[in-house]
Amino acid sequence: MKTQSVAPRSGSPLALSVPLGIFFVGFVLVPMLLLAYVSLFEDMEMTRHGFSQYVKFLSDGFNLGILGSTLLLGLKVSILCTLLGFPLAYLYVQIPGRWQGPLMLLIVLPLLTSSVVRTFAWVVILGRQGIVNTAMANLGWIQEPVKLLYTPGAVAVALAQIELPLMVLPLITALMNCDRNLRDASLALGAGHWRTFWKITVPLSMPGLLAGGLLVFASSVSAFVTQTLVGGGQQIFMPYYMYQQAIQANNYPFAAAIAMLLLVCVLAVVVTVNALGRRNSGFVHA
């Protein structure tokens, strides 16, 4: 009744979305188009139009290697987050309600601290005189400090910790939507806990798993600060490569082309995974 009386006064409800629409056009769409436009110049002075920046990137093995290692990093972090996040989300759904509040706080805590702070924490943990090396030395496992920081593994682990909430939160939602009776029905039909987990729980939490995986992937391939600080100078990923070309080499067209290519790659992954997910998600809320 209330909404009916309000609707005629404010005109079409579509009007309510105008401010957000203007914001999106002004601060998302226009910069994107500008970026695409800049990437279509052939020279650094931006005088001639052409596709040479894209040709230059795609014909050079060094550049393709950077793109490949960036996407691989996203994949590694997504897998790590799945392996760490699923047990955590499962634990959250299983424990009594009074423990869920404190656990949720622990889960979202990484989101409440700045990523620079979290990254420096990992630098401290993994450094030559860091907690891990000191502990292993004290236990007599190693004589010399092991190189942990500035390795691909360190970047993946640090990013997995930082992005973990993005995986756990959608997973918790998916698991909560899952009828408990389905698990009980599976047990009563003679299936063990593992079979029930793989045949019932995992398929039904797939939408959350895919959503979480995409969020983790998209944010870890573009996590400039963590990639750069934990990865050090030896490993170059796409975001740092962009920064280098734009700020240090002043080559804006090439930097824009790198940005466009990363954007296209991430979009391709998102669209593919979403299409896969749509085939599965029909039954979830049936």
By beta-carbon proximity to another protein, the closer residue of 185 and 249 is 185
Task: Tell me: does residue 283 bind another protein (CB under 8 A).
Answer: yes
| Single-letter code of the amino acid located at 176 | M
55, 65, 113, 184: which one binds another protein (CB under 8 A):
184
| Single-letter code of the amino acid located at 19 | P
88, 156, 162, 204: which one binds another protein (CB under 8 A):
204
By beta-carbon proximity to another protein, the closer residue of 51 and 283 is 283
Task: Tell me: does residue 181 bind another protein (CB under 8 A).
Answer: yes
Alpha helices in 95-127 (DSSP H): 97-112, 115-126
**Phi and psi for 45 in degrees, rounded to 5?**
-85, -5
Class of residue 232 by CB neighbours under 10 A (exposed 0-12, middle 13-18, buried 19+): middle
Q: Comparing C-alpha atoms, which of 216, 206, 198, 212 is closest to residue 177?
A: 206
By beta-carbon proximity to another protein, the closer residue of 71 and 204 is 204
Task: Tell me: does residue 97 bind another protein (CB under 8 A).
Answer: no
| Single-letter code of the amino acid located at 261 | L
Task: Tell me: does residue 203 bind another protein (CB under 8 A).
Answer: yes
Task: Tell me: does residue 179 bind another protein (CB under 8 A).
Answer: yes
Residues 6+ apart with CB under 8 A from 285: 177
By beta-carbon proximity to another protein, the closer residue of 119 and 196 is 196
Task: Tell me: does residue 61 bind another protein (CB under 8 A).
Answer: no
1, 20, 188, 275: which one binds another protein (CB under 8 A):
188
Long-range (24+ apart) CB contacts under 8 A made by 179-184 are: none
Token pair 């797939």 in the structure block, residue: 206
Q: How many residues does the chain have?
A: 286
DSSP 48: S
Cα radius of gyration (the chain): 24
How many CA atoms are closer than 13 Å to the CA of 195, on its beta-carbon side? Answer: 9
Token pair 């490949």 in the structure block, residue: 68
Task: Tell me: does residue 191 bind another protein (CB under 8 A).
Answer: yes
CB of 99 to another protein, least distance (A): 14
CA distances from 198 to 172, 194, 204, 205 (A): 17, 6, 10, 10
Q: Which stretch binds another protein (CB under 8 A): 76-84, 121-129, 153-161, 182-190?
A: 182-190
Q: Which stretch binds another protein (CB under 8 A): 63-71, 184-192, 224-232, 260-268?
A: 184-192
CB of 173 to another protein, least distance (A): 16
Q: Which stretch binds another protein (CB under 8 A): 28-36, 55-63, 178-186, 246-254?
A: 178-186
Task: Tell me: does residue 280 bind another protein (CB under 8 A).
Answer: yes
CB of 190 to another protein, least distance (A): 5
Chain residues that interact with another protein, rule: CB under 8 A: 179, 181-182, 184-192, 195, 199-200, 203-204, 280, 283-284, 286
